[in-house]
Amino acid sequence: MTKISEAQKRASQKWDSQNKDKKNYIVAKSQAKRFINKFATSQDLKFLIELIEKKLEQ
């Protein structure tokens, strides 16, 4: 496992605190992709398609 320097940790924490909305967006997008690719059933995918279609209509 690669060790991370204290300076890099501080830089990461600073970026996280200054970019909360962007970080939340990135995390949510990653979680959605992971759910779709690893866990979603056919029913889940159909439901998500419906949600996406409704969102695109807005």
Write out pLDDT tens, residues 4-45.
Answer: 999 999 999 999 999 999 999 999 999 999 999 999 999 999
Residue 47 has pLDDT above 80, yes or no: yes
In a domain, 27, yes or no: yes
In a domain, 56, yes or no: yes
In a domain, 58, yes or no: yes
In a domain, 57, yes or no: yes
**Please, is 29 exposed, middle or buried when counting C-beta atoms within 10 Å of its C-beta (0-12, 13-18, 19+)?**
exposed
Number of domains in the chain: 1
In a domain, 49, yes or no: yes
In a domain, 1, yes or no: no
In a domain, 2, yes or no: no
Per the structure, the complete domain to which residue 32 belongs is given by: 21-58
DSSP state of 39: I
* Residues 6 or more apart whose Cβ sits within 8 Å of residue 52: none
Map tokens 């991370």 to a residue: 4
